Amino acid sequence: MDFLKKIGKDIIISENEISILSKYDIDVTSCNTIDEILLLIDRFLDDADVTDEEYDELDYLANVLAERKYYGSTNKWKDVNG
């Protein structure tokens, strides 16, 4: 099971997600918020020549992180986790 951990100021992310981002040279340790990671993903997708599979992988991850940010910022995260 891939557990979530907190890094930076308020980033909650799994080891698997970190490894996916590292594969594309996106360093989450330099970020303080999920918004910063989302910006790096967006810039990477705009600038890099990626395959459809790579695009889909990063796009899916960006959506997961955005959803996690939403639930975390609205305090609904507690409701989801019990």
pLDDT digits (tens, 9 = 90+) for 19-34: 999 999 999 988 999 9
> What pTM does this model have?
0.82
Q: Domain count for the chain, please give it.
A: 1
CB 40 within 8 A of CB 16: no
Nearest to 36 by CA among 26, 24, 50, 45: 26
CB 62 within 8 A of CB 42: yes
- Residue 30 belongs to some domain of the structure: yes
Rounded Cα gap, residues 54 and 71, in angstroms: 26
Residues of the domain holding 55? 4-74
Predicted local confidence at residue 75, as pLDDT: 65
